[in-house]
Chains A and B, each alone.
Chain A
Amino acid sequence: MAASTRSRLATPFMDAGFSDQSPLGAGDPISEEEALRRLRLTDDPSAQYYAAWWLGRNRSTHPDAVPLLQEALRQRRPRDLGAGVEENAVARNAARALGKLAPAALVAIEDLLATLEDEDHGLREAAARSLGELRAQAAVAPLVRRLATGPSVAGAQQPGTPRLVEPCEALLEALGDIGVATPEVLKVIEPFVQHERPLIRSAASRALLQLTGEERWGQLLVELLQHQQLQVRRAALMDLGGAGWRPALDPIARTLAENSLKLIALRGLVENAGPGSEPASDPTLDASTVAVMEAMDALL
């Protein structure tokens, strides 16, 4: 499974290796039973929030996990500053967790498709990423529809917020992960490599690289590794890793960014098969793989 998803950059609970941050309430190791119990506490969103995260992080295979997360996904709640919980936070974490629970979570694709139509931008974003992680082909049409108006509408900044009209990064990323490379899909993604925001350009380039394997998209990402903003360099690292584009080995190793991120990107080069194909279930010790691992050794 893809090791390098950009969503690591966007979620509050970043997998360590990239970040040493722990979620709220961590330092409190709990069992799977306890996580399931907390997820049932519908009057305690803070407990549910952590429980949903826990089940995804630990890739729970308990038969109750997916049904409970589906229920949590339907919870809509206003922001509650007192409890430190933001609007629809439980639903958002439930959406994220479902993305990590394939194959059991495939039954939740319908729920995630419905969530993709939610008016809450953050929920659409989480649903899109999870649909991508679940390789949900049924999501291609709605994802394309949301992006079809292009950078000037779907990709325009919403007045009064830093957000774009659509969660474009997540939508683009999902299309790349799902891997349906029809001309229609490519045509909708391509204009976003010209978007004014480098993070959107990076996401679009990644998706196109995954879908077509064409070097020009990989080169765009390699150029972004030199961007003056660290945040952009980090995203390009994750995107090259997510696409598993091995020609980027040396540029990744030379990028001015944390070794932790470069290691995640290089792990992606090992584990994510070449552009346009499924992740290799059994990568082998060929010379190119050994070269990537030697570069990883040097970054430890």
Chain B
Amino acid sequence: MPAVLELVEAVRRADTALGLLQATQALAAAAHPESAACLVEILGFNNPGAAVAAVDGLIAIGEPAVDTILTNIDGYNYGARAWAVRALAGIGDVRGLAVLEDALGKDIGPSVRRAAARGLGQLRLAGLPAEERHGMALRCLQALVDGCRDGEWVVRYAVVVGLESLASALGGDGAVDSARPRQQLMDALRGLHGDANEEAPVVQLRAALALQRLEAAYD
């Protein structure tokens, strides 16, 4: 325990960008639940290197960090919010679903919406009862389908990635009807792939890749 506190103290003492990066890396490597609050704070420091390390640390802590992240979402700093959403996405805890939906649909920061779109594709639904799991997967799908109309290329790119990874969560276990949502997911990808008004060829290419992979998997 004192070890974690010492690492937190080192973060507090850091007075250069490089010092902060190194202290954060050390703290993140410990992956100790008690470091979550400090790691979340680092997300707001406008030091991208340190933020990357802090997100990695939060993801390594996993579920015990979720409450701390959720209660400290920064309403005023979209940079910090993007990193927090990215951490939630990486952890994949279903408690983050509402925040991710909200972020993709409404956040003014493209970097926040982008992280949310990716996260909506990778919630860890496997342990849940079939009905609940299916309901959550449908919510993710709906949010991502709506996200196809986002005005920023990078968000549409992330929506493609989210849809591709969500596909496995719509997989049939017989208990629920998965054919229709699966069709909806493929239609959304085809829409992005074929959109003549798409300004970013990379979005169309990524959609083509997702379609290729999913069609191979569904065959």
Contact = CB atoms under 8 A, between A and B. Distances in A.
Contacts of A271: 200-202
A293 B49 contact: no
A20 B155 CA distance: 12
Contacts of B49: 256
A114 interface: no
Q: Which of A16, A59, A264 has the most CB of B within 10 A?
A: A16
Interface string A258-300: 1110011001001100000000000101000110010011001
Interface residues of B, number: 30
Contacts of A259: 48, 52, 111
B212 interface: yes
A256 B48 contact: yes
B45 to A, nearest CB: 13
Interface in B120-179: 152-154, 157-158, 161
B202 A267 contact: yes
A257 B206 CA distance: 23
Interface string B61-80: 00000000000000000110
A3 interface: yes
Contacts of A257: 48
Contacts of B200: 3, 267, 271
Contacts of B208: 285
Interface string A219-261: 0000000000010000000000000000000000000111110
Contacts of A230: 48
B205 A256 contact: no
Contacts of A258: 48, 79, 111
B21 A256 contact: yes
Q: Give the dominant DSSP class at A's interface.
A: helix
B152 A300 contact: no
A300 B48 contact: no
B116 to A, nearest CB: 10
A263 B48 contact: no
A256 B24 CA distance: 14
Contact of B154 (A17, A270, A289): A17
B110 A20 contact: yes
A300 B212 contact: no
Please classify how large the interface on chain A is, using the bins under 10, 10 to 19, 20 to 34, 35 or more: 20 to 34
Nearest to A258: B48
B215 interface: no
Contacts of B43: none
A290 B200 CA distance: 16
B32 to A, nearest CB: 24
Contact of B161 (A20, A285, A297): A297
A1 B9 CA distance: 49
Interface in A9-53: 16-17, 20
A13 to B, nearest CB: 14
Contacts of A300: 86, 114-115, 117-118, 154, 157-158, 161
A271 B110 CA distance: 21
Nearest to B208: A285
B219 interface: no
B199 interface: yes
Contacts of A17: 110, 152-154
Contacts of B217: none
Contacts of A289: 205
Given A20-B78, A20-B109, A260-B154, 6 more contacts: A17-B152, A256-B21, A258-B111, A260-B111, A283-B205, A285-B205
State the 6 A-B residue pairs at the shortest beta-carbon distance, nearest first: A256-B49, A300-B118, A17-B154, A20-B109, A16-B110, A300-B158
24 contacts: A16-B110, A16-B154, A17-B152, A20-B78, A20-B108, A20-B109, A20-B110, A20-B111, A258-B48, A260-B110, A260-B114, A267-B153, A267-B154, A267-B202, A271-B200, A293-B205, A293-B206, A293-B209, A296-B202, A296-B206, A297-B161, A300-B86, A300-B114, A300-B158
